[in-house]
Amino acid sequence: MHLAFIQTRSQAGLLAPEVIVEIHLGSGLPGFQVVGFSESATRQIRGRVRSAILSSHLKWPDFNITVNLAPTELPKEGPRYDLPIALGLLVASQQLPQRCIVGREFFGELGLDGGIHAFRGALAAALAATRAGHACGMAHQGASEIATLTEGRLITAPDLLSLCAQLKKADPEYAPRGTPLNPDHFPYPDLSQLKGQPLLCKALEVAATGGHHLLMTGPPGVGKTLAASVLPGLLPPLPDKTVQELLLMQDIVGLTERGGPPFRAPHHSSSVASLMGGTARALPGEISMAHGGVLFLDELTEFPHAVLNQLRQPLETGLIRVNRAQHQHQYPAQFQLVAAMNPCPCGLAGDPDRRCRCTPDRIRRYSQGISGPLTDRIDLHITLQRPPPELLLSKSTGGQSSSGDVRNRVTLMRQRQRERQDCLNRDLSGDNLLKACQLKNDTERWLIRAVAKLNLSARSTHRRLKVARTLADMSGDRSVAIPHLKTALTFREAPSTDDAGAV
Ligand SMILES: [Zn+2]
């Protein structure tokens, strides 16, 4: 037989569509071509595969070799097809029996010495193959983790020759599974570390409970970064689906963070592609790596407008579309946004001890740097002051709950919100919001007076109602009452927003 068909997988976002590697050994002058690949890409593949076959003491078939990857319209790049091409050549030239490849898929890069190397995206490929009921032939490296996550049958080997030996066995050994992930692993600073900041601690618990995005305004060194990194530790353990999506994306970008909701804090000088996704290989960006966890944007005003404007789509849909050449991939990006900014360019505005020298005009331009549509999606805006020094040094936690206690409460509250309205309080809007709040007549009258007195816009009123709904949930009340609204109104908004922080 001078033909062979080997199953493998391509990569499109988190999916791994099936690809068949077709090998034909033709008569005529010896040659090697890969249909649809450029001459230089073909030369590279031939170089690696030929060296690997020869280094494994196998024979390079001296035929006119044609390789076709079907279907042709799928995005196909990278050396991940080395292994299936090599095995296809061995089957077509009858150095490996046909039965060795039946019901099995193969993926992996080959080294010149015949070694099989792991590659990014192997997890998605192994998962898809396992779902299709196939065993996988792949690199040894990282296999036990992939076996744990996919529960697949993985035949692994360090090099081509030992893989062939494994494949010839009637019952090959499958890679053993490692220890499963620990879903209760929360490597984050504890809430009790935020000393002398009761307002901040309360805001963090509210944010965690209702899923509200949070904007902190305050001078440098007030603990904004610490506060943001506490938040993922207050969130419930991630659902299995989110964990799987996260692991697939981490595998694609080559990250090995495991367990707990993620915390990502990209710098404002990062490129738009690295933040949003879509480098040359259409990889997921920072916002996707924060999926299920917290995305922290420190010094919000320093981020390029393009980035802040593009955040609107994932904030609304929990998804981001990433374009590459003719293909569009979609990655999940359901994160909780925590943003921080200084009160003015020098950071001293509102400081009782030191004087800010920024002109009012400069302060106005500074805070206008963040787009309205973005701040509209942030329910909680808080302004922070430096805590008194004696509190910072105090050994007592000031009655502050630990992160673990808050997390247990948050888990319960989020469950109740979903039972009541099928979403978190953050996602309530219009009639659903009013229905969920169940305002009594006197509460409604009080709110109307407060809105008029504080000159709040409709959007700002809705944001505070959502926060009040969360506060009512936290105190176990069915309807939102005046005390909840009062507290919601004390979360003072930054002057950048539509109602100029009037409380
Ligand atoms: Zn200033």
What percent of the chain stands above pLDDT 70? 93
Q: What is the distance, to the nearest Å, from the Cα of residue 143 to the centroid of all Cα atoms in its chain? A: 23
Q: From ligand 1's centre to the CA of 338, what distance in Å?
A: 23
Query: CB 48: neighbour CB atoms within 10 A?
Result: 18
Lowest mean pLDDT among 77-91, 261-275, 354-368: 354-368
Q: From ligand 1's centre to the CA of 499, what distance in Å?
A: 21
Nearest to 478 by CA among 417, 429, 430, 406: 417
Q: What is the 3-state secondary structure (H, E, C) of 316-372?
A: HHCEEEEEECCEEEEEECCCEEEEEECCCCCCCCCCCCCCCCCCHHHHHHHHCCCCH
- Which contacts (CB < 8 Å, 24+ apart) does range 428-432 have? 428/466, 428/469, 429/462
Checking if the pLDDT of 392 tops 80, the result is: no
Q: From ligand 1's centre to the CA of 386, what distance in Å?
A: 15
Residue the block writes with tokens 């673990």: 404
Q: From ligand 1's centre to the CA of 343, what distance in Å?
A: 7
- Strands annotated E in 30-115: 31-34, 64-70, 104-106, 109-110
Q: From ligand 1's centre to the CA of 384, what distance in Å?
A: 15
Q: From ligand 1's centre to the CA of 453, what distance in Å?
A: 29
Confidence of residue 158 (pLDDT cuts 50, 70, 90): very high
Instruction: Enumerate the β-bridge partners of residue 117.
Output: 109
Q: From ligand 1's centre to the CA of 191, what distance in Å?
A: 30
User: Would you state the structure tokens that stand for residue 106, as one six-digit string?
Assistant: 């193969």
Q: From ligand 1's centre to the CA of 321, what distance in Å?
A: 39
Q: From ligand 1's centre to the CA of 463, what distance in Å?
A: 28
Confidence of residue 183 (pLDDT cuts 50, 70, 90): low
For strands 214-217 and 380-383, give the pairing. Answer: parallel
Question: Which CA distances in Å does 192 have to 371, 394, 397?
Answer: 33, 12, 6
Cα four-point dihedral sign 461, 464, 466, 472: negative
Contact between residue 267 and residue 310 where contact means Cβ atoms under 8 Å apart: no
476: Cβ contacts below 8 Å, ≥ 6 apart:
none
Contact between residue 129 and residue 111 where contact means Cβ atoms under 8 Å apart: no
Q: What is the pLDDT of residues 410-428, one digit of tens each?
A: 999 999 999 999 999 999 9
Q: What is the pLDDT of residues 296-305, one digit of tens each?
A: 999 998 898 8
DSSP label at residue 156: E
Q: From ligand 1's centre to the CA of 121, what distance in Å?
A: 48
Q: From ligand 1's centre to the CA of 496, what distance in Å?
A: 15
Q: From ligand 1's centre to the CA of 489, what distance in Å?
A: 26
Nearest to 9 by CA among 122, 85, 117: 122
3-class secondary structure, 135: strand
User: Would you state the structure tokens that stand for residue 190, as one six-digit string?
Assistant: 């504890």
Polymer length in residues for the chain: 503
Q: From ligand 1's centre to the CA of 341, what distance in Å?
A: 12
Q: From ligand 1's centre to the CA of 215, what distance in Å?
A: 19
What percent of the chain stands above pLDDT 90? 56
Q: From ligand 1's centre to the CA of 381, what distance in Å?
A: 19
Q: From ligand 1's centre to the CA of 106, what distance in Å?
A: 61
186: Cβ contacts below 8 Å, ≥ 6 apart:
232, 233, 259, 260, 261, 403, 404, 407
Q: From ligand 1's centre to the CA of 299, what distance in Å?
A: 14
Q: What is the pLDDT of residues 208-224, one digit of tens each?
A: 999 999 999 988 888 89
Contact between residue 501 and residue 489 where contact means Cβ atoms under 8 Å apart: no
pLDDT (average), residues 240-263: 85
Q: From ligand 1's centre to the CA of 493, what distance in Å?
A: 18
Q: From ligand 1's centre to the CA of 380, what distance in Å?
A: 23
Measured between alpha carbons, how far is 92 from 86 in angstroms, rounded to an integer? 10
Measured between alpha carbons, how far is 76 from 325 in angstroms, rounded to an integer? 12
Confidence of residue 501 (pLDDT cuts 50, 70, 90): very low
Q: From ligand 1's centre to the CA of 288, what distance in Å?
A: 34
Q: From ligand 1's centre to the CA of 361, what distance in Å?
A: 11
Q: Which domains, ranges and CATH numbers included, belong to the chain?
A: 3-168 (3.30.230.10), 197-422 (3.40.50.300), 428-503 (1.10.8)
What pLDDT shows up at residue 331? Answer: 93
Q: From ligand 1's centre to the CA of 363, what distance in Å?
A: 7
Residue the block writes with tokens 């493998």: 8
Checking if the pLDDT of 500 tops 50, the result is: no
Q: From ligand 1's centre to the CA of 389, what distance in Å?
A: 22
Instruction: Walk across the sheet containing 336-341 and list its strands.
Output: 263-264, 294-297, 336-341, 214-217, 380-383
Lowest mean pLDDT among 143-147, 202-206, 207-211, 403-407: 143-147
Q: From ligand 1's centre to the CA of 354, what distance in Å?
A: 10
Q: From ligand 1's centre to the CA of 302, what distance in Å?
A: 15
Q: From ligand 1's centre to the CA of 342, what distance in Å?
A: 9
Q: From ligand 1's centre to the CA of 285, what distance in Å?
A: 33
Q: From ligand 1's centre to the CA of 459, what distance in Å?
A: 28
pLDDT (average), residues 90-119: 94
Checking if the pLDDT of 133 tops 80, the result is: yes
Per-chain residues with Cβ under 5 A from ion ligand 1? 344, 346, 348-349, 356, 358
Measured between alpha carbons, how far is 20 from 5 in angstroms, rounded to an integer? 6
Residue 386: how many CA atoms within 13 Å on its side-chain side?
14
Q: From ligand 1's centre to the CA of 358, what distance in Å?
A: 4
Question: Which CA distances in Å does 352 have to 88, 246, 457, 492?
Answer: 75, 44, 30, 18
Residue type present at position 441: N
